[in-house]
Every structure is written in C-alpha cells, then in structure tokens.
Amino acid sequence: MSGLKEFGTYNGLVYYSEPIRAPAIVFDVDGTLVDSRWSYNATIVNTVKAFFGWATGVFPSEEEILGAVSKLRLTGGFNNDWDTSFTVLIGLLSGLADQALRSIAGDDFEFFSGKPSSRLKREQLADSYKALNYLLMYADSRGLQSVMDGLEKLYNKKEKLAYIKSIASKKLGYPGLPKESVLSRTFEELYLGEDLFRAVWSVEPRFRIKRGAIEDEKVVIDQETSALIKRTFGQKVGIASGRPRVTAEKSLGKLMGDLFSPEASVFIDDAVKESPDKWLGKPNEYMLVKSMEAMGVNECIYVGDSVEDMLMARNAVAKGYSVHFIGSYSYTIRPGDYVKSFIEGGADAILPTVNELKFVLSQR
C-alpha cells in the first residue's frame, strides 16, 4: 500500500519512511495550526440549516451535513466553505418536489424576509438526503463547476433544473461575495460575528450576532514545536492558507508575528488580489509558490490537513519546485478517511497533529 512505517504517539499514529530535510517549511492554518472544527464546520452546518429551515420548516441533521462536507473535502476541490455550504444546500433543496421549488424560486419568496415557503414533513427529509448524495457523486477536484455539471446531468431537460438555477442565482446570489450574495453573507456573519464582519467586509450586518464561531478556534501548535521550528528553519517559516489574513491574525494572535515570516505568509485575499477573475486558491499552487519565492527557496516542507493541500503541493512540484508534503489528520471530520487519502496520494509523512513534527524532521 505504501512504504510508510507507523508508530504510536500520545495523539495518534505517525506514518513516515525517513527523516525529512528542507531549507524551509510552510503551513496551512485551518486544521493544522488552528483547530477550526467547531468554527468553520459549525458555520457550514448552521448556514445550511438556516436556509433550508426557512424554506421548508424542517432542519436537516448535523450528521448528514457533516458527512457531505467530508465527502466534498476529500475530492480536493472544496477548499472554499461558501462553495461547500452552497453545494450541500442546493443538493438538499433538489430533493424537494417541483411545486416546492417553484414556490422558493417565485417572486414572493425571499430568504429571511416575509413568510417561509412550503412546509415539509420530517419524514420527507429522506428525499433530500437521497438527492444530496446523488449530487455528491459528481463532485470532484474541479469543485463548484463539477457540482453544476452534475445538476445538469441529473435534471437535464426537467423543470426542476430551471428552478434550482433560479434559486441559486436570484435567491442566493451565488456564486458571489457577501456584498451580493445572501448565502456567503450569512456564512460570514455566523463565522465572524457582527463586529468583525463589519470590519472585514465594510457592510452593515443583517443579523446581530455578538459572538462569531471564530471565537471557538484554538491554536494547536505548542511552545516546544514552535521552538523546534525556529531552531530548525530560522526565518524561513511561511503560511499558505485559504483563509483571509485578518482572520488568521485573530486566531493565531502573537504567534503570527513571532514564528512566521510576514513576507512568506500568503492568504486567499492575496490570491484574489493577484487575480480577481481566475481562482488561485487551493489546489492551485500560487500561494505555496509565492511563499517559497518570498523565502528565496525552491524546496520546502508543506504541512496541511486536506486533500486540497496535498494537490497544491503536487501542483507546485509539477511547476518544478521540490515540496515534501506532510498531512495532519486529527482535526478533520473523519480522520481515518484522510489518513487513507494521504497514503494513497503519496504523502511523505502523516501526523495526528503538527506537534508530532519532532518525530519526522531531520535534526541538523
């Protein structure tokens, strides 16, 4: 299956073949440096529940939503949690009868304003779960585009497709930034809370959410590991993350300035600024390459917790860079699935948390 050896630690199994050496190291943030299971994942769940519940009067289960989220992330194409929320929601809605979808798509319906649409019976949720799982079969590393293609194939030449597309574009305004899309705006308000949302997006919040889910995030990396990284790599420590810079600064606190090179810390807003019209977020290699270039190296270790991270590393290698990928799995939804994916993807090492780096780094 792989040439990796394994041994147990306090936090879980470590998989590696030999000590890894490189002149620089770059980190993902979510699930790697920060435990974001109860922030981003909870926000996806609450976003989907809010929209589906408003439209139908019933709420899908957290277990079903998180199961779908895990499947989407394992494709390597869903690093954007707005896309993930949209896909789960539209998959669930596609299981509704045409009459219900027509009502939601109609001029008289607006999410979170006026009266909700038709009422489902709880047992009818089974049809929505089934429809969602059918849609998930089409999801792949192309991300949102693969889902839209899947909808075309599932509902080709049916009225349902027209209703779904209308709900997506006219009622949800998606894809779109929080200034235009009620879906991404609701997600951001739930995640950031009203004060930080206002600061980040320069838009007045619709809801009065005093405490955003971001407040539940916890830094994973401990002092011993931070000291090891400083000792081993000096100033050549970077970040390549799919989250905005301001939220990373909030969650990492003083660690942001103490450990990571500012020039080599690259975030999704940097990628969007570089190319507003072309997606340069994961799994595109842009952020990782930008971090390496800032440190003046063409070889590094990259530590991440997702298939998108692994694909980004692989894409950088295809561009002529040398990247040793280390997968971290403890802070994912279904850790066993990620260990399997990392092994199958040829990871150089797999760790339960970033704090097991001491077992796999070559000590100079």
State whether 146 and 91 are in the same domain.
yes
The pair of three-digit structure tokens given for residue 161, joined into one six-digit string: 């497709």
Vertex 291, ends 289 and 292: CA angle to 5°? 65
* Contact indicator for 283, 21 with CB cutoff of 8 Å: no
What is the pLDDT at residue 166?
97
Residue 87's nearest CA partner among 69, 99, 75, 108 is 69
State whether 208 and 264 are in the same domain.
no
pLDDT digits (tens, 9 = 90+) for 66-99: 999 999 999 999 989 999 999 999 999 999 999 9
C-alpha dist (Å) from residue 311 to 4, 208, 304 = 19, 38, 10
CA distance 361 to 345: 20
State whether 252 and 350 are in the same domain.
yes
Question: Can you list the residues of the chain whose pLDDT is less than 50?
Answer: 1
State whether 45 and 28 are in the same domain.
no
User: Which of 178, 196, 214 lies at the terminal end of a domain, its last residue?
Assistant: 214
Residue with tokens 């009266």: 115
Beta bridge partners of 304: 327
The pair of three-digit structure tokens given for residue 199, joined into one six-digit string: 């600061």
**By three-state DSSP, how is residue 162 classified?**
helix
What is the pLDDT at residue 1?
44
Instruction: Quote the number of domains for the chain.
Output: 2
Query: Is residue 127 situated within a structural domain?
Result: yes
State whether 252 and 108 are in the same domain.
no
State whether 178 and 196 are in the same domain.
yes
CA distance 29 to 34: 6
User: Which of 161, 185, 214 lies at the terminal end of a domain, its last residue?
Assistant: 214
Give the range of the structural domain holding residue 246, as residue numbers without chain letter: 5-36+218-359
Query: Is residue 228 situated within a structural domain?
Result: yes
What is the pLDDT at residue 2?
65
CA distance 271 to 290: 9
CA distance 53 to 278: 34
State whether 199 and 281 are in the same domain.
no
Residue with tokens 């147990």: 8
CA distance 355 to 331: 13
What is the pLDDT at residue 270?
95
State whether 184 and 233 are in the same domain.
no
What is the pLDDT at residue 157?
87
Beta bridge partners of 219: 34
Query: Is residue 149 situated within a structural domain?
Result: yes
The pair of three-digit structure tokens given for residue 280, joined into one six-digit string: 């340069």
pLDDT digits (tens, 9 = 90+) for 164-218: 999 999 999 999 999 999 999 999 999 999 999 999 999 999 999 999 999 999 9
CB atoms within 10 A of CB 293: 15
State whether 262 and 155 are in the same domain.
no
Query: Is residue 24 situated within a structural domain?
Result: yes
State whether 158 and 270 are in the same domain.
no
Query: Is residue 26 situated within a structural domain?
Result: yes
State whether 80 and 136 are in the same domain.
yes
Residue 90's nearest CA partner among 144, 132, 60 is 132
Q: Of how many residues is the chain composed?
A: 364
* Contact indicator for 59, 124 with CB cutoff of 8 Å: no
* Contact indicator for 341, 9 with CB cutoff of 8 Å: no
Query: Is residue 336 situated within a structural domain?
Result: yes
Query: Is residue 364 situated within a structural domain?
Result: no
Residue 349's nearest CA partner among 23, 27, 17, 13 is 17
Any idea of the CA torsion for 338, 341, 345, 347, to the nearest 10 degrees? Answer: 30
Query: Is residue 166 situated within a structural domain?
Result: yes
Write the CATH number for 337.
3.40.50.1000
State whether 223 and 263 are in the same domain.
yes
CA distance 110 to 166: 12
User: Which of 164, 194, 214 lies at the terminal end of a domain, its last residue?
Assistant: 214
